[in-house]
Amino acid sequence: MTKKEKLNSPLKLNDTDRNLAPDLGRGFMLLLIVIAHAPFYLYTAGPGIISRPFGESLIDHIVNFIGVLFVDSRSFPMFAALFGYGLAFMVKKRTEKGVAEELIKKSLRRRSWFLLLFGFIHFVFIGGADILGLYGFSGLLISWLLFSSGKIQLRTLIIVGVAYFIIIPVSWFMLIMTSGGASMQVGLTAEHTYFGLVIEHTMAFPFVILVQLSMYPMLLAILIGVWVAGKQWLDQPYRFRQTLKRIAIWGLMISVVGGFPLALVSVQLWEPSLEVLSLSVILHIITGLAGGFAYTAIIALISINARNKIPKTAWFLSAVGKRSLTFYLYQEALLVVLLSPVAFGLGSEFDATGVFILAILIWISGVLLASWLENRKWPGPADALLRRLIYRK
């Protein structure tokens, strides 16, 4: 193979059948998620936008501005799309290996039910901000689509997209108008106990999934990931450089323009009417899809020459990305233990800047642990357990 052919071949790590781009994406995505979730635990802070309390200092305002503009509602589309891509990729690989369709469908159903179970345990007994339950429920909803043609997948995607563009504006407009908009309180309080939180989360679990499905375009992002898997943009990014560049550029532009009004509100430089605030929140959430896909496209472009230009960075990111379930749970558990009132309660002491720094440190610690596992070729414990439950091997 010539040097040019080597550079233009699909990138793999450790001679596995895994592609580099999705693992890099998952590794980066975990950083965005922990940054987005950390402000949830500032439980003695005053009102804010959705779950991000207003800052008290200039650096707090800078952190909030960056968070709203580049992280909030931009991390979940990336995670959801990679989840959908992973399901479609798994179906494709197992089909190519000659596994019967009925067996693949059974493993998909088991994966979905166990993700629901993992999500329930995580939300109820660990107390983290959960998305696993939603992914399990979504897997049950769309498993049939993974065996359909690209045309049917695209048609379904369009129908779901149109539904979201109706449901999201209506639901958020009604919520903000009835709640008073910016005066939204963070859910945790200093009076919460662990057992009280367990009971509360047990009752709330199905409603959390419903809210995630109806008020955020989660299912749409998953369906886009399924559809993109058929295009092979992440499997063979070297073939689609121009397409990925266009997605990255236009996605970032749309995301920044759409997020800018709410970013101004988050730093209290603008105090619009409730009606305008509603439109700003709706615009922020919808354009977050473009931001999430822009980040995914950028990661795919980086993966093309990752080994030649940033080998160590790619290795670290892919190590944690391969074990995304384990380190998602790890990050959420650390946030709960360190910040929530049922454990160390540092959320009452920290400000926006403090939890931002803490979130980055938590992610770095996860990367180091994942790298230690990668050096020993050990899987993430939660990932290995899920695979064992699904495939019973």
Residue 49 backbone phi and psi in degrees, to 5: -105, 115
pLDDT tens figures, 321-357: 999 999 999 999 999 999 999 999 999 999 999 999 9
**Sign of the torsion angle spanned by Cα atoms 209, 214, 220, 221:** negative
260, pLDDT greater than 60 = yes
**More confident: 304 or 255:** 255
Q: How far is CA 129 from the centre of its chain?
A: 11
- Judged by average pLDDT, the poorest of 5-14, 149-158, 375-384 is 5-14
Give the number of other Cβ atoms within 10 Å of residue 29's Cβ.
Answer: 28
pLDDT tens figures, 213-224: 999 999 999 999
Burial degree of 250 (CB within 10 A; 0-12, 13-18, 19+): middle
Closest CA to 291 of 342, 332, 251, 244: 251
Crossing angle for the helix pair 311-322 and 352-375, to the nearest 10 degrees: 90
26, pLDDT greater than 60 = yes
Residue type, 271: E
pLDDT level of residue 3 (50, 70, 90 thresholds): very low
**pLDDT recorded at residue 58:** 93
78, pLDDT greater than 80 = yes
5, pLDDT greater than 80 = no
11, pLDDT greater than 70 = no
Q: pTM for this structure?
A: 0.91
**More confident: 10 or 199:** 199
pLDDT tens figures, 232-259: 888 888 899 999 999 999 999 999 999 9
The 3-state DSSP class for residue 19 equals strand
Provide mean pLDDT across the span 359-385. Answer: 96
pLDDT level of residue 192 (50, 70, 90 thresholds): confident
pLDDT level of residue 172 (50, 70, 90 thresholds): very high
CA distance 390 to 386: 6
Residue type, 123: F
Token pair listed for 243: 């397409």
- Residues in contact with 68: Cβ distance below 8 Å, sequence separation at least 6, in sequence order: 49, 52, 259, 262, 263, 266, 284
Residue type, 60: D
pLDDT tens figures, 132-163: 999 999 999 999 999 998 899 999 999 999 99
CA distance 220 to 215: 12
Task: Specify whether the CB–CB gap between 13 and 2 falls below 8 A.
Answer: no
Percentages (nearest 5) of helix, strand, coil residues in the chain: 75, 0, 20
**pLDDT recorded at residue 393:** 64
pLDDT level of residue 12 (50, 70, 90 thresholds): very low
**pLDDT recorded at residue 236:** 87
